[in-house]
Amino acid sequence: MPYSNTFDEWGPEYVVRVYKPSIGLEGFLVVDNTTLGPGKGGIRMTPDISEEEVRRLARAMTWKTALAGIPFGGAKAGIRWSGGSEEQKKKLMQAFARAIKIFTPRKYIAGPDVNTGEKEMQWFVEATGNWKSATGKPAKLCMLVLGKGGSVEQCGIPHEFGSTGFGVAHATRVAAELLKLPMRGATVALHGFGNVGSFTAKYLKVMGAKIVAIATKEGATYKGKKIPREDFWKVPVDILIPASVTDVINDSNKRFIKAKLVVEGANIPMQERIEQELWKKGIMIVPDFVANSGGVISSYAEYRGYNPKQMFRTVEHKIIQSTREVLEKALKTGRNPRDIALEIAKERIKSHGKS
């Protein structure tokens, strides 16, 4: 049975396809599970986004929010976007927002993702007319909302503040510590240098790590020199961080990976079977929904009306706690960290569903 037609005990609850041929709009919304709260997940705008990819990402968000211990469920959205003017992008985003308005924010809360950021989230809330329908809004976008003792001003906390990369760096530090791998002087290769990759690099450098290899859509470098993009996976490093797109580690390059530690900064950077193969080879892997949950924790902080300082403190605490809990158990039992993390996330959802 095709993946896009499958359902299980966890979801999805809603699968929405949005079409508006007159403006070239084709989009998808998948609300996977709302047991713990409204489904949370970004809107991805790429040329080849599919319902299957959105489903996979929505399920990852279900586990991510449960493991992070925040009152959100899992969801994701995607819009086909091959590039064009800002006017056309805004038109597509706002048409999509109006089409799924019925789900926000009770069942779905949007956020930034690939090719969407604070500007697109402002467009989204303008179209829905609801401040709480999206997080990751511009810091200068504020409004008065009813709070304790009267109205209080709440402002956006854009992902451009780097909360996801900040969390990935702390997950890396905890994992390295458990592996007895000193962060000072540890060599790191980063695949992807957008919002997640660039901020991960920034915080890892502060911790003493050395970023020796970077790959982007434009090309790859190793120790400051250009190398073929396919050779990026062959560079000898202590830590590999895929922080770009889905399935970037695959059957064509998995055999070259020799890092001691892989920290998944991107969502679903490889299929689970490949992850299992690397784990069996002795490579420690911090799963995506453990390592990169800083973004959704930041979303929760914005939703609660926290300021940026409170947000970063919350991200650090929750990332360290969940990374340590998962990896310590994985090392003790000799089991794949993903299996451990999934068990914890599922148990939290089940427990909440029974309460």
Q: Indicate the pairing of strand 14-20 with strand 25-33.
A: antiparallel
Q: What is the DSSP string of 305-322?
A: T--HHHHHHHHHHHHHHH
Do 181 and 329 have their domain in common?
yes
Name every residue whose Cβ is closer than 8 Å to that of residue 151 and which is 6 or more positions away in sequence.
144, 145
C-alpha span between 324 and 340 (Å, rounded) = 12
Among 108, 137, 156, residue at a domain's last position: 156
C-alpha span between 202 and 312 (Å, rounded) = 15
How many domains are contained in the chain? 2
Tell me the residue type at 41.
G
Q: Indicate the pairing of strand 239-242 with strand 261-263.
A: parallel
Residue in this structure with the two tokens 């709480």, named with its chain if needed: 132
Residue in this structure with the two tokens 């309460």, named with its chain if needed: 355
Do 149 and 184 have their domain in common?
no
Looking at residue 159, its pLDDT comes to 67
Looking at residue 302, its pLDDT comes to 85
| Max CA distance (Å), the chain | 60
Domain assignment present for 214: yes
For 121, the enclosing helix (H) or strand (E) is: helix 118-128
Give the domain range for residue 132: 3-156
C-alpha span between 7 and 258 (Å, rounded) = 36
SS3 174: helix
Instruction: Based on the residue annotation, tell me whether 20 is a catalytic residue of this protein.
Output: no
Phi and psi dihedrals of 74, rounded to 5? -115, 135
Q: What is the DSSP string of 191-226?
A: E--SHHHHHHHHHHHHTT-EEEEEE-SS-EEETTEE
Do 96 and 168 have their domain in common?
no
Domain assignment present for 300: no
pLDDT per residue of the chain (355 residues) written in tens, 0 to 9: 234 457 899 999 999 999 999 999 999 999 999 999 999 999 999 999 999 999 999 998 999 999 999 999 999 999 999 999 999 999 999 999 999 999 999 999 999 988 999 999 999 999 999 999 999 899 888 887 655 555 667 888 876 689 999 999 999 999 999 999 999 999 999 999 998 999 999 999 999 999 999 999 999 999 999 999 999 999 999 999 999 988 999 999 999 999 999 999 998 899 999 999 999 999 999 999 999 999 899 889 888 888 889 999 999 999 999 999 999 999 999 999 999 999 999 999 999 866 5
Nearest C-alpha neighbor of 258 from the set 236, 230, 289: 236
Name every residue whose Cβ is closer than 8 Å to that of residue 85 and which is 6 or more positions away in sequence.
none
Domain assignment present for 350: no
Can you read off the two tokens belonging to residue 75? 């969801």
Do 148 and 94 have their domain in common?
yes
Do 92 and 169 have their domain in common?
no
Can you read off the two tokens belonging to residue 344? 């914890």
Do 167 and 148 have their domain in common?
no
Domain assignment present for 167: yes
Strand-pairing partners, residue 26, are 19
Among 138, 156, 174, residue at a domain's last position: 156
CATH code of the domain covering residue 279: 3.40.50.720
Looking at residue 3, its pLDDT comes to 41
Instruction: Name the active-site residue from 76, 119, 137, 318.
Output: 76
Do 142 and 208 have their domain in common?
no
Do 94 and 59 have their domain in common?
yes
Is the torsion defined by CA of 311, 34, 342, 287 positive or negative?
negative
Do 174 and 263 have their domain in common?
yes
